[in-house]
Structure 1
């Protein structure tokens, strides 16, 4: 089975902010019944979104409803279900070749990228990191054991990564080591850099980049 990368932009709108506030308010109050009910009501709305189902497996007839029951409900999974309908599909790192996300993970460190930059490009942070940005409570945001909640990268960070990729795509130093030249050629010839630049170019400063890698 192919390993695929999926990508979306999640606009930070007043509706987004209200949804996040409601999730955090229920979680902070320990009202797991409300958290569960909100998410379960929304779940059927995304059943027909094939792109969402492929990336996050939020099938109402699958395991998700069980993980959304009050005894298991978590802020991250509830937020994903409530926000997913607003996700806008954008070109992913698998746009031109299934393995391009793997090539980027392998070769960008050779070209000077650090581990954190690669992570934010390919996989992002857990959804709880996004929620924590909006939280004023000290209560821990416990992660769901259902881990198909995507990787989240702030839009301003995505734009910075795009600038780094643009400079990288332009040229490689003629005096670079064979390893550097080999990695640069691998990313250029596979289309991996072009895929990454297209993905990041679709993200605005006021968005979150949401990604997923499925098997």
Structure 2
């Protein structure tokens, strides 16, 4: 079982990442670029910033070996042909086409792609089993991940601030693991998958409103090119 990561030790690193990150968000229904209200203040890059900080704080040697294993397992093996930017551009375009109209948002941050899956369409309240109505959406993600198999897939769980921090941490881990297990059952190589729970530590909206809490209850899938 994968060891879940506590974000308490990453606050300084994450803050720096969020200050420097440049994110583009596309409306899941229209595919058009848009400016989100949550980008003001809290910063819409909170989720992907947390993942990058998490990866940066892992052992460098083990990360290098992981990337080597991903590339070795990929069709054709070897480095990403045609350049990383082009590879991720093509993958992003395919994901936006597949996920249009599903309620899942596609976010681009440099060479990384982030899929934001709100809790209201993925899980019942306080539950960690995936809603059956969301299977088709995840199946669409699996199709693209199989085609673009030279990426690390980080599945991260996030919650709002209701309940204790310990409860929220556990729930975020369980939800991330449920999505990761589903991707694995769909044929995604386990060597590509990282699973982490961030609890209530990385909100993308205010927890003082019901609408904000709904945005914070989410699972995010971050795709990082293996280099």
TM-score w.r.t. length of structure 2: 0.28
Higher helix residue share: 1
Normalized per residue, which structure has more strand? 2
- TM-score normalised over the length of structure 1: 0.29
Using CA pairs under 8 Å that are at least 6 residues apart, name the structure with larger relative contact order, 1 or 2.
Answer: 1
